[in-house]
Homo-oligomer: A and B are copies of this chain.
Amino acid sequence: MNNNKKITASILIIGNEILSGKTQDTNLKYLGLELATLGINLVEVRVLPDEEDIIISTLNFCRSKYNYVFTTGGIGPTHDDITAKCVAKAFNRNLLVNEEAVKRLMSNPNKNYELNEARMKMATLPSGANLIDNPVSYAPGFNLDNVYVLAGIPSVAKAMFETFKHKLETNDPIESDSIDIYLREGDIAEPLSIIAKKYSYVDIGSYPFSKDGKYGATIVVRGTDKELIKKVIDEVFNIMDKITS
Contacts and interface: CB of A to CB of B under 8 A. Distances in A.
Interface of A: 15-26, 28-36, 42-50, 54, 58, 76-80, 113, 116-119, 121-122, 153, 174, 176, 184-190, 192-193, 196-197, 203-208, 217, 220, 222
A186 B77 contact: yes
Copies of this chain, how many? 2
Contacts of A25: 25, 28-29
29 contacts: A15-B205, A16-B205, A16-B222, A17-B205, A18-B28, A18-B45, A19-B43, A20-B42, A20-B174, A21-B28, A21-B36, A22-B32, A22-B33, A23-B29, A25-B25, A44-B49, A44-B54, A44-B58, A45-B47, A47-B47, A76-B189, A79-B197, A80-B204, A113-B184, A113-B186, A117-B190, A118-B189, A121-B189, A153-B208
Contacts of A22: 32-33, 176, 207, 220
Contacts of A30: 21
A29 B44 CA distance: 18
A154 B165 CA distance: 32
Contact of A79 (B26, B45, B196): B196
Given A20-B33, A78-B193, A80-B196, 19 more contacts: A16-B203, A17-B220, A19-B28, A23-B207, A25-B28, A25-B29, A28-B47, A43-B49, A44-B46, A44-B58, A50-B205, A77-B186, A77-B189, A78-B192, A79-B196, A79-B206, A118-B190, A118-B193, A119-B186
B44 A176 contact: no
Contacts of A220: 17, 22
A45 B80 CA distance: 19
A193 B21 contact: no
A54 B43 contact: yes
A162 B16 CA distance: 23
